[in-house]
């Protein structure tokens, strides 16, 4: 499913919050456009996530973190009116998985929260990180901080939890509005990206393991001599 169809589909309804955009003329903007064009062409999603030859891995990851933040906001926006404190008193993914919130600020210790409150705090926290130019530099003249990859791992791990909650607790709503193919495409793209660069741990991916094995069938592209991975 082409991404432009996905975005048009969700923009007809409510969005959870304003989109974060890249400024035209910047390297991040051109990489963002490159990533979007690859998706729109409908080619193998597992191939789409690979680092383009000659590009810096941190730039590629920064662009995707912002894009996934925007898209998962759109997805959550479609179920937000059904995700309320009475129906979702915990941020969970079924009976086996519950996510606690900690931000080192107001919530210094991991704290159980209702799902809508958890997601609201999470999206506020991510927005603060990606709008901080010392953490996510806008200009290529400004180097990425040494903590950049660790921060991206934390952001993407927490965003994955939104997928878990939506799929396990609100999938009937996704199906009812005809969004299942769009959400599945976004999930596959996210899954291939985070596994390509080792950005979300296997244990975190466990709640959606069964669904992942069902929908993620894109063949692995042949390795290229100039491909890189994030390491541990």
Q: How far apart are CA 151 and CA 128, in angstroms?
A: 12
**100: part of which helix (H) or strand (E)?**
strand 100-101
64 is in an annotated binding site: no
Q: Nearest 5 degrees, angle CA 62-CA 14-CA 121?
A: 55
**Section 43-64 average pLDDT:** 87
**Section 34-61 average pLDDT:** 75
Q: Which pTM does this prediction carry?
A: 0.80
pLDDT band at 43 (very low <50, low <70, confident <90, very high): low
Q: How far apart are CA 201 and CA 219, in angstroms?
A: 22
Range with the poorest average pLDDT among 40-44, 181-185, 193-197, 206-210? 40-44
- Do 90 and 112 form a contact (C-beta atoms < 8 A)? yes
| Best mean pLDDT range from 17-26, 130-139, 191-200 | 191-200
The CA–CA distances, whole Å, from 10 to 16, 39, 56, 147, 232 equal 10, 17, 31, 33, 35
Average pLDDT, the chain: 81
Q: How far apart are CA 86 and CA 2, in angstroms?
A: 35
pLDDT band at 111 (very low <50, low <70, confident <90, very high): very high
Whether 229 has a pLDDT exceeding 80, the answer reads no
Contacts with 232 (C-beta within 8 Å, 6 or more apart), sequence order: 198
83 is in an annotated binding site: yes
165 is in an annotated binding site: yes
Q: How far apart are CA 51 and CA 232, in angstroms?
A: 17
Contacts with 42 (C-beta within 8 Å, 6 or more apart), sequence order: 2
Buried b (16+ CB within 10 A) or exposed e, 102-130: eeeeeeeeeeebbbbebbbbbbebbeeeb
**Section 24-51 average pLDDT:** 61
Contacts with 120 (C-beta within 8 Å, 6 or more apart), sequence order: none
């Amino acid at each position: 499913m082409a991404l432009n169809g996905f975005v048009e589909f969700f923009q007809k309804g409510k969005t959870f919050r304003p989109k974060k955009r890249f400024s035209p003329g910047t390297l991040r903007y051109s990489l963002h456009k490159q990533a979007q064009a690859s998706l729109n062409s409908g080619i193998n999603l597992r191939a789409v996530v690979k680092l383009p030859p000659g590009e810096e891995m941190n730039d590629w990851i920064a662009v995707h973190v912002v894009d996934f933040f925007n898209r998962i906001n759109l997805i959550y926006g479609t179920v937000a009116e059904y995700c309320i404190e009475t129906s979702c008193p915990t941020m969970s993914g079924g009976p086996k998985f519950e996510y606690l919130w900690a931000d080192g600020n107001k919530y210094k210790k991991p704290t159980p929260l209702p799902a809508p409150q958890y997601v609201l705090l999470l999206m506020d926290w991510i927005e603060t990180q990606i709008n901080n130019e010392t953490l996510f530099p806008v200009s290529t003249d400004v180097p990425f901080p040494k903590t950049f990859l660790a921060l991206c791992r934390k952001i993407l791990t927490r965003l994955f939890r939104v997928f878990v909650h939506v799929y396990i607790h609100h999938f009937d709503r996704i199906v009812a509005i005809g969004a299942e193919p769009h959400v599945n495409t976004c999930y596959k793209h996210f899954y291939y990206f985070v596994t390509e660069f080792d950005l979300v741990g296997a244990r975190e991916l466990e709640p959606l393991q069964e669904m992942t094995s069902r929908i993620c069938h894109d063949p692995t592209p042949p390795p290229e001599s100039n491909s890189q991975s994030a390491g541990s």
